[in-house]
Amino acid sequence: MARKEGDGSEVIKLLKESEFESWCKGKQFWPELIGVPTKLAKEIIEKENPSINDVPIILNGSPVPADFRCNRVRLIDNILGDVVQIPRVA
């Protein structure tokens, strides 16, 4: 049975990425780290934004959880250990 609009069901508003970003402090994107070794990139991120304390290194194409956290930046690397996607708070 299809629901009619206005039948009392809750509507969940999903926040846009830009709304999440406004909650987080400090630098949030590192496009200059594309091609940099992931271990060095991790050090740079932690130095430039001290609120980041979770920097997992993930092989490109691997699944990642969809949750958002202001203290996390995922480093997506290739088999050579270089960053292949723009690191960002996620």
Does 53 reside within a domain? Answer: yes
How do residues 13-37 score in pLDDT, each as one tens digit?
444 544 545 689 999 999 999 999 9
Q: For residue 38, what are the domain limits?
A: 26-77
Reported as a single tens digit per residue, the pLDDT across 32-79 is: 999 999 999 999 999 999 999 999 999 999 999 999 999 999 999 999
How many domains, in total, are found in the chain? Answer: 1
Any domain includes 73: yes
Of 87, 85, 77, the C-alpha closest to 44 is: 87
> HSE (CB half, 13 Å, CA atoms) of 34?
6
Q: Would residue 15 count as lying in a domain? A: no
Residue 9 in domain = no
Specify the CATH number for the domain of residue 57: 3.30.10.10
User: Is residue 85 in a domain?
Assistant: no
